[in-house]
Structure 1
């Protein structure tokens, strides 16, 4: 079993277990090591552990313990979950055969997986968009393939608040973040998530995708809209919260060559 397959745990218990572990670390009679690969291991000390905040704008500061090389705190080798250290690649895996395809994110462990995909495993290059932390209530779906999470997308729902300091609300459902792991790209998964988003809100006349569209997302949209003529008048690139002056039709702008198209990196 992997962390996502364990009984549900809430963030209070997760934090309490992590704090208890930290307190006991210095009093342990012998050094503790983590096998980071088949050929190397990492000593677990206070200098190789840090707290990672999971959610954006989180007042309660839901955090998890992360293990990193002592000389590079920007790396994340493992997380402390369910009383043990788990390597990053195992945390995004599952032994549950029914966990396949696109499934709604519901548990804390699934949000941990989103965090890892977003902030650790698929850290963007200089040419790619850097996704910020998501909120704890962000509506999302994880994409599962061959016993592992390979991507996700998030949605801002119509009527939900745009920010915490004004009364502005989204005027339509908006596809906010789409991520596919690099090793799984060019297999139609970006297209699959966009199609799922559109079919999930079939009663809505218009749908949005957060501005600005990356070149890879433009390529996904171009392919999707070429095959789905009925969606061409529905999909808009929107600046939050998506009023009429904050949206532009994606298909029209593709036809007018207003996007820079490159080799598809998401689909």
Structure 2
């Protein structure tokens, strides 16, 4: 079993267990704890190659997890301390549950942690620094599971939810906010699958939004989707928060006018 398959973990309990582990590690002799980073190499675990990672962006209690990194590169994340042991990042992203497949709502802390890894850690390059911001812990989202691993996710700003934590503005329509597919799984129609799922989730809404700005890959997904679904062409808009009519631009029209 993998972390996402184990009994739910409370954020406070996770933090306390991590703090206790760190205190124990600092008190024990050097060379007592090692992590098998690959089949042929292992890394000594010391307080010098452990850091705290902040998981969420909101005004609630901070949620940090312990991460293990190479001694010479603190920007890398090799493993996370969960359920009393170290798990390599690739295993945190996996599941042994056969029913966990396709797009499923994000509900548990561990599923939100996987979202964090996808957007902040996995396959991230220096050029993508800051491409995705941290998500609030209550963000509405779905994870995409394929072949026993998480390969992407999308998030939604629901109509009526606050646009941010420092104002009283609320979204005036459902908005597809973030769409992410792992690089090794791109060009397989998964972005299209998520857009279809988003649009079908709000059958009674006359207008739906996608957050600005649209990336080139998202424009390509929208073009394909709207070519296949003519009835959605007057329904899908690129929007700025909160999404009133002056902040909406019809995506199909902008594609036809070559504005992207």
Aligned to 2:225: 224
SS of aligned partner of 1:23: helix
- The correspondence of residues 13-52 of structure 1 with structure 2, limited to 5 A, is 13-29=13-29, 30-52=31-53
Which structure 1 residue ranges, 4+ long, deviate > 3 Å from structure 2?
Answer: none
Structure 1, gaps ≥5 residues long: 260-267
**Is the contact made by 1:129 and 1:214 (CA closer than 8 Å) also made in structure 2?**
no
CA root-mean-square deviation: 1.3
Q: Which residue of 1 aligns with 2:100?
A: 99
Deviations 1:49-93 (A, max 9, x none): 000000013441101000001111110000000000000000000
Match of 2:116 in 1: 115
Tell me the secondary structure at the aligned position of residue 27 of structure 2. Answer: coil
Distance 2:125 2:145 in 1: 21
Question: SS of 1:51's equivalent?
Answer: strand
Gaps of 5+ in 2: none
3-state SS, counterpart of residue 212 of structure 1: coil
The equivalent of 1:195 in structure 2 is 196
Given that residues 3 and 82 in structure 1 are in contact (C-alpha distance below 8 angstroms), is that contact kept between their aligned partners in structure 2?
yes
State the Cα deviation string for residues 153-189 of structure 1 (Å, max 9, x = none).
0000000011122111001000000000000011100
Range with greater deviation from structure 2 (35-44 or 74-83): 35-44
| Matched residue, 2:166 | 165
Where does residue 6 of structure 2 map in the other structure?
Answer: 6
Paired with 2:130 and 2:203, the residues of 1 have a C-alpha distance of 29
| Structure-2 residue corresponding to 1:263 | none
Q: Equivalent residue for 1:234? A: 235
* Structure 1 residues 95 and 177: alpha-carbon distance in aligned structure 2, compared to 1, 3 A threshold: same
Structure 2 CA distance, aligned partners of 1:119 and 1:128? 9
Summarize the Cα distance change of 1:124–1:69 in structure 2 as closer, same or farther, 3 Å threshold.
closer
1:156 aligns with 2:157: yes
| SS in structure 2 of the partner of residue 172 of structure 1 | coil
Superposition TM-score, scaled by structure 1 size: 0.94
- Count of aligned residue pairs for this structure pair: 259
Question: Which residue in 1 is equivalent to 2:136?
Answer: 135
Quick one: distance in 2 between partners of 1:128 and 1:245? 31
1:15 and 1:64 in contact (8 A); partners too: yes
- Cα distance in 2 between the residues matched to 1:59 and 1:108: 15
Determine helix, strand or coil for the equivalent of 2:255.
helix
Task: Give the CA deviation at 1:124.
Answer: 4.9
